[in-house]
Amino acid sequence: MNREFFNDLGLALLRIGPAALMLTHGYPKLLKLLAGGEIQFYDFAGLGPEVSLALAVFGEFVAPLAMIVGFKTRWFAAPAAFTMLVAAFGAHWADALGDKEHSLLFAIPFLATMLLGAGGYSLDAWALRRK
């Protein structure tokens, strides 16, 4: 096995692991959004709780799904990372570092994926090979 194999495997783990775990946070938010009724959620930038929840669903559910398969990975890693940074430094601003830590532990691999890309085991790489 060559170096490229391990590099691509590492990038796949960096991309898929956190994205799959993020789905466990995004899916309940999606259900909450679809349920309707009054929504109580962190109001990001004065957009209102409904819009803020919809943006969180995009960052915690839609973007991670795309990242898992490696579709437009760098682009979808950006809203996932941004959502986690808003959670850490917006919704949990006044909380202790231990309460922000969860969000930051997701933000870091999403930021790394933004910089490094999807790697060879992704739809992005498959599309490049087909050209």
Q: For 3-38, write each residue's pLDDT tens digit.
A: 999 999 999 999 999 999 999 999 999 999 999 889
Q: For 81-90, write each residue's pLDDT tens digit.
A: 999 999 999 9
Query: Does 99 have pLDDT greater than 90?
Result: no
Query: Does 131 have pLDDT greater than 80?
Result: no
CA distance 17 to 115: 17
DSSP 34-87: HH-S------GGGS-HHHHHHHHHIIIIIHHHHHHHTSSHHHHHHHHHHHHHHI
pLDDT at site 25 = 97
Q: For 38-56, write each residue's pLDDT tens digit.
A: 999 999 999 999 999 999 9
Give the tokens for residue 18: 């956190």
pLDDT at site 98 = 85
pLDDT at site 62 = 98
